């Protein structure tokens, strides 16, 4: 028996006031569930963010070393090949 069938069978065995409580709880759970949300459209912040011309310039070795010293110890984001 599937879960849905079990829930319905259990619900039918309850008095009406308890069925109302089950319905209320089911609606509560549904409200808390993440729903399929439309993705945000591109360009919402167009013109509001300034990126400097040297944004993609390689970091100096002194600053790059600060990031690389933890590379073998901590991996915050999984490395994936593209």
Whether this prediction's pTM lies above 0.75 is answered by no
Quickly count: other Cβ atoms within 10 Å of residue 11's Cβ: 13
3 closest CA partner among 34, 36, 26: 26
Q: Could you report the per-residue pLDDT of 19-38, keeping only the tens digit for each?
A: 999 999 999 988 887 776 77
pLDDT of 67? 76
Instruction: Report residue 57 as tokens.
Output: 């310039």
């Amino acid at each position: 028996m599937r879960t849905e069938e079990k829930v319905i069978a259990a619900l039918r065995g309850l008095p009406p006031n308890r069925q109302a409580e089950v319905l209320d709880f089911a609606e509560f759970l549904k409200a808390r569930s993440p729903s399929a949300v439309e993705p945000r459209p591109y360009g919402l912040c167009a013109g509001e963010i300034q990126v400097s011309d040297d944004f993609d310039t390689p970091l100096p070795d002194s600053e790059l070393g600060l990031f690389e010293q933890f590379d073998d110890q901590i991996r915050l984001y999984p490395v994936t090949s593209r």
